[in-house]
Structure 1
């Protein structure tokens, strides 16, 4: 069987309002570090309930800024799950810290609080938890652990903009929350990211970090009529442009509708998979609003199913190779197989099926018919 068009696992949705917003900025006086950046930060804060937002060039830059703001350095350990994109752990290495991997829950693939507690040592300084696939972690349990051991708590919410845990939105559940605006995420700025926090000092450190460690921005100096600035920290150029942020603000207006659509499609998948013995979705907690960045299933025949779907024009994918199994981590950090057995066992079965707002229920039926042909 074949399909006439390739169905990607995720993609951006851009409309005329988005294009008009970008064009307006292109015709303005500011292309970077201008008013559209501050407006986007304010818009994300208003949506999430966070007090301060720091927009940066991508989600990885936001993670790095968070580690810098928390003073992670040589000798410090930060606990992180293995079931995530490598950037969640790489940001610790950028600061000279040591990632310590805590295993995940077998049913959700979210960080297991019991494993986190067991991983804490006198050198532990922070916890980074990942809202895998768009489902929030058990943030109450993680907060209790962090407070008991006097640790900073960071939410890698790159999958979870628009999600909530027990009625509280992602963005308010940790000391710092990080978002990504890559094209396959819930909203896009092309490339882009943001760190949000309730702590004014953490926000100020991250804001300086994104601009070379300099105390003021070009627009701030323009407003005050001053030229003088000082570099007080060793920062990076992690700035984001105004036209990217204009796109982000435009996209944010549609986020709730897109999250609702993602949930509808996830329910259609779940209904279609109910009679399948060899393929099953991850468990969704009852106390969350799932953002469904990814629709992840488990199948013991993952590799054969992946090849079959791809051969029939369906862009299945795998998220992720556990970070501690990557060659760099094995060779440089000294991790090994067997460190996180739950994540390792899950990885051998994981498959991501297409899910994005432009997908239709007919697409879901096509995908399910294709799956049925191999099972």
Structure 2
């Protein structure tokens, strides 16, 4: 058995990035300031987006978007149940109704067909999710949204560096990114909204900082304007310069990180080829449209009948061998609150539910070595044997 424990994810932070954060701590300005502005500008440039707003979390960003789009009681929002539950929680907290579209069995992403089947007269918003580093078929979804006159916001938390038909995710429309420590780049905690809707971006800037008529960092005053007035009630979701400085260092290394992830993912496919109990998700070349995969996660599904054990038991036995795994995700409608408040959903999402019982994420992060991968495969074979 290997030692020490191998986590399923670990951030890659350099000494230069640590030193840059220390410089900010010594500067006397540690909250939202020029570093946050620089991070927004460089992230927008990387995504070829019209504009970007840095936030304290992607969850905060989704909250502000629901507010800015006027989503509330009587509205329906279509999204997958195969996603992190924060989006579903925010829809409920807004007083709206989440409506779950099933996912493709081997990509874990919604399609235009599964979304269209859920559209009603009450549908106000579609939130599809780019999954594990793969890109949704955005052309089909955007055409669908235009056909029905419904807003669309991409959950791009897994898609930093992902490309769709030669363009980075975030170039067009409105997208929300995450910088949680397990993501391809991190700010500790943080998020970013990219959009080509300049009015929406201006609204998000107000909402993120108490509804003030200027940003938390006023470029002309090199500080916060004491004369700023509240234009509408807002929140407190601004990103600090401490976090943004780390983000700048990470963003500069994104290609390096994603190249390492891609090499590991390709090697996983080779190593797992003879293990019938595990099936990975669809590979990039199998989607039918051009896409650059960011390999945020390497997900497999366990054939519980062949393995003779449940997915949870399999993960527990790997942990006993010092191999960490992740679960992305247990379908939101199977969580206790949603089982009780939305009992009619169970049984209506066959691909989602099949995967929810079988998926797990194998270790994948830039500093992981081939020896680490070999340890993962050795443990898998021992557990299955």
TM-score normalised according to structure 2 size? 0.93
Structure 2: gaps of 5 or more residues: 305-310
Equivalence for 2:235: 236
Cα deviation digits, residues 299-342 of structure 1 (max 9, x gap): 12323321221110000121111011112223335553113121
Alignment of 1:108-257 (within 5 A): 108-173=107-172, 175-220=173-218, 222-223=221-222, 227-257=226-256
- Given that 2:78 and 2:118 are in contact with CA atoms closer than 8 Å, whether structure 1 keeps it comes out as yes
For residues 7 and 30 of structure 1, the distance between their equivalents in structure 2, rounded to whole angstroms, comes to: 37
- What is the Cα deviation at residue 128 of structure 1? 0.5
- Given that 1:57 and 1:191 are in contact with CA atoms closer than 8 Å, whether structure 2 keeps it comes out as yes
Equivalence for 2:307: none
- What is the Cα deviation at residue 118 of structure 1? 0.5
Alignment of 1:308-327 (within 5 A): 308-327=317-336
For residues 223 and 366 of structure 2, the distance between their equivalents in structure 1, rounded to whole angstroms, comes to: 44
Query: Root-mean-square deviation (CA), in Å?
Result: 1.6
Name the SS for the 1:137 alignment partner.
coil
For residues 159 and 325 of structure 1, the distance between their equivalents in structure 2, rounded to whole angstroms, comes to: 22
- What is the Cα deviation at residue 129 of structure 1? 0.8
Name the SS for the 1:219 alignment partner.
coil
Query: Is the counterpart of residue 369 in structure 1 residue 372 in structure 2?
Result: no
The 4+ residue runs of structure 1 with deviation greater than 3 A are 221-226, 332-336
Name the SS for the 1:133 alignment partner.
coil
Residue range with higher mean Cα deviation, 277-286 or 53-62:
277-286
For residues 301 and 346 of structure 2, the distance between their equivalents in structure 1, rounded to whole angstroms, comes to: 20
Structure 1: gaps of 5 or more residues: none
For residues 64 and 30 of structure 2, the distance between their equivalents in structure 1, rounded to whole angstroms, comes to: 22
For residues 376 and 224 of structure 2, the distance between their equivalents in structure 1, rounded to whole angstroms, comes to: 59
For residues 237 and 226 of structure 1, the distance between their equivalents in structure 2, rounded to whole angstroms, comes to: 17
Query: Is the counterpart of residue 293 in structure 1 residue 296 in structure 2?
Result: yes
Query: Is the counterpart of residue 306 in structure 1 residue 305 in structure 2?
Result: no
Q: How many residues align?
A: 373
- Given that 2:325 and 2:363 are in contact with CA atoms closer than 8 Å, whether structure 1 keeps it comes out as yes
For residues 113 and 52 of structure 2, the distance between their equivalents in structure 1, rounded to whole angstroms, comes to: 31
Name the SS for the 1:297 alignment partner.
strand
- Given that 1:324 and 1:335 are in contact with CA atoms closer than 8 Å, whether structure 2 keeps it comes out as no
Alignment of 1:34-73 (within 5 A): 34-73=33-72
- What is the Cα deviation at residue 29 of structure 1? 3.6
Distance 1:295 1:226, change over 3 A: closer
Equivalence for 2:369: 360
Q: Which of 335, 351, 357 pairs up with 1:348?
A: 357
Name the SS for the 2:127 alignment partner.
strand
Equivalence for 2:7: 8
Cα deviation digits, residues 40-84 of structure 1 (max 9, x gap): 000100111111111111110011112122221211111101111
Query: Is the counterpart of residue 19 in structure 1 residue 5 in structure 2?
Result: no
Distance 1:176 1:94, change over 3 A: farther
Distance 1:265 1:225, change over 3 A: closer
For residues 156 and 242 of structure 1, the distance between their equivalents in structure 2, rounded to whole angstroms, comes to: 24
Cα deviation digits, residues 258-278 of structure 1 (max 9, x gap): 101101000010001111111
- Given that 1:66 and 1:176 are in contact with CA atoms closer than 8 Å, whether structure 2 keeps it comes out as no
TM-score normalised according to structure 1 size? 0.96
Cα deviation digits, residues 129-183 of structure 1 (max 9, x gap): 111111111111111111111111111110110001111111124x210011111
- What is the Cα deviation at residue 95 of structure 1? 2.2
- What is the Cα deviation at residue 219 of structure 1? 3.1
- What is the Cα deviation at residue 218 of structure 1? 4.5
- Given that 2:33 and 2:223 are in contact with CA atoms closer than 8 Å, whether structure 1 keeps it comes out as no
